């Protein structure tokens, strides 16, 4: 199994993602689960590259016989600031997280941001849990229910965690 933990500089993200993929490909995972992990990691790394303005990204991946835990945290500008810089005005950090989960993109052309939206659907399909922290908000998604908590110490950047049981998944059917 895999127990991976590393702080990565922004400039080394692509190279490290390739290294992570190579480690995960060696595992014997149920049908579709490797695609799920690779898709989620790709989306999260792309989000960091395109939106965060981070310098350091902390990545923790633990895959054992029963569960897959992924934590990705950046030291960037956070979700709300990313929206504000594109003249999209969420009233607070919680609303910014809701925007991201709902697929509102900050890209310059009209395009949906399917990354976090799709990851949320996949994690729910696998009956797992997803946590997003940014600014002063923490959102926990479990059994497709969203719970919001205000946190006292501001999170610099964005932290995304998901924990799912390892089982077969039809990736394409799950995101329809």
Looking at the predicted structure, is the pLDDT value of residue 173 above 70? yes
Q: What is the distance between the alpha carbons of residues 76 and 73, in angstroms, rounded to a whole number?
A: 9
Write down the pLDDT at residue 144: 82
Q: Which domains does the chain have, with CATH numbers?
A: 2-174 (3.30.565.10)
User: Band of the pLDDT at 176, cuts 50, 70, 90?
Assistant: confident
Q: Tens digits of per-residue pLDDT, 52-71?
A: 999 999 999 999 999 999 99
Enter the tokens of residue 109. Answer: 């052309």
pLDDT at 102 over 90: no
72-83 per-position pLDDT tens digit: 999 999 999 999
- Tokens 């500089």 locate to 9
Beta-bridge mates of residue 62: 3, 69
Residue 14 has pLDDT above 80, yes or no: yes
Q: What is the pLDDT of residue 104?
A: 82
Pairwise CA distance, residues 137 & 143, whole Å: 20
Give the tokens for residue 83. 């929206």
Q: Quick one: how far is CA 86 from the chain centroid?
A: 21
CA distance 93 to 90: 7
């Amino acid at each position: 199994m895999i127990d991976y933990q590393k702080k990565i500089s922004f400039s080394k993200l692509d190279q490290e993602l390739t290294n992570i993929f190579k480690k995960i490909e060696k595992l014997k995972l149920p049908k579709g689960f490797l695609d799920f992990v690779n898709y989620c990691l790709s989306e999260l790394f792309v989000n960091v590259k395109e939106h965060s303005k981070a310098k350091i990204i902390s990545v923790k991946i633990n895959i054992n016989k029963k569960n897959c835990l992924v934590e990705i945290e950046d030291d960037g500008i956070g979700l709300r600031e990313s929206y504000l810089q594109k003249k999209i005005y969420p009233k607070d950090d919680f609303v910014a997280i809701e925007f991201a989960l709902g697929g509102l993109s900050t890209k310059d052309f009209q395009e949906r941001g399917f990354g976090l939206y799709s990851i949320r659907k996949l994690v729910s399909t696998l009956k797992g849990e997803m946590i997003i922290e940014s600014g002063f908000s923490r959102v926990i998604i479990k059994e497709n229910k969203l719970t919001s908590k205000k946190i006292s110490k501001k999170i610099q950047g964005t932290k995304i965690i998901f924990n799912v049981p390892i089982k077969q998944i039809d990736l394409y059917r799950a995101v329809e």
